[in-house]
Amino acid sequence: HLLEYPWSLLETAMLLLVLSCSLSLLQQPRPPLGLGLRPALLCGRRVAIVMAADEAAAQRAEQADRAAAALAQLPPGLYNRVSFQSGGMKQAYAEEECLVLWEALKACYPTEADALAAVDKNSMTVNPSMNSPSKITETHALLVERFGAGKASEIIMQNPGILTCTAAAVAAQSDDEILGVTALVAKVDENKGKARLLVLGGLLSVVSLAGTGLLARRRDLRARGVFRSSSEDEKLRRIRSN
């Protein structure tokens, strides 16, 4: 019926203009993903991103507050040893976990000073990556059951590392084996200073031997004319000049 309608010149021109605009729009390439979205949808995405960033910042602030509260309850310098063992890598809630381990360890010793001495001997006892509260409490209870409170206290004083073992692993060992390992650890701890001197002496010997070898090599090269000192070069220059 469009062809039967008596179109005027102006109406015909307007119809052609609309048709040409429609065709040009169909021929345009599609916009990249996201550019064709409605402004309201883009605004919603921006709001979601901002809210996620704010939530992450709030979580970091909460973790920092909890870490500070845990550090305030730990003996000075204790957590630094744990952080050093992990290479300084920050782990979430490590301070709180260290505090839990410290409280469990402290309960096994007669005094806090004894517990600190145990950490000085083996700081793995309060390292969350290496130990757990169940290991400490269950292994200590097993030692008390097998040896009595007095002997169990003596064992964990001499060998705090036993509290990093599971109770099942310790239960598989005989009494003589447990006491033998404890005596060995105590002996090594007593001779720790001598062992360090021996290691230092060995290193100095290696350095001395290396230096002697370098000097011998230098003399050999000098004898073959491959390497000469500045004084020998001066002598050669004088001989050549004459």
**Residue pLDDT, tens place only, 189-202:** 887 665 555 444 44
Section 178-182 average pLDDT = 94
Determine what percent of the chain is predicted with pLDDT higher than 90. Answer: 35
pLDDT at 30 over 60: no
Over 90: is that where the pLDDT of 205 sits? no
Between 78 and 87, name the one with better pLDDT: 78
The answer, yes or no, to whether residue 164 has pLDDT greater than 80, is yes
Of 82, 73, 143, 72, the closest CA to residue 109 belongs to 143
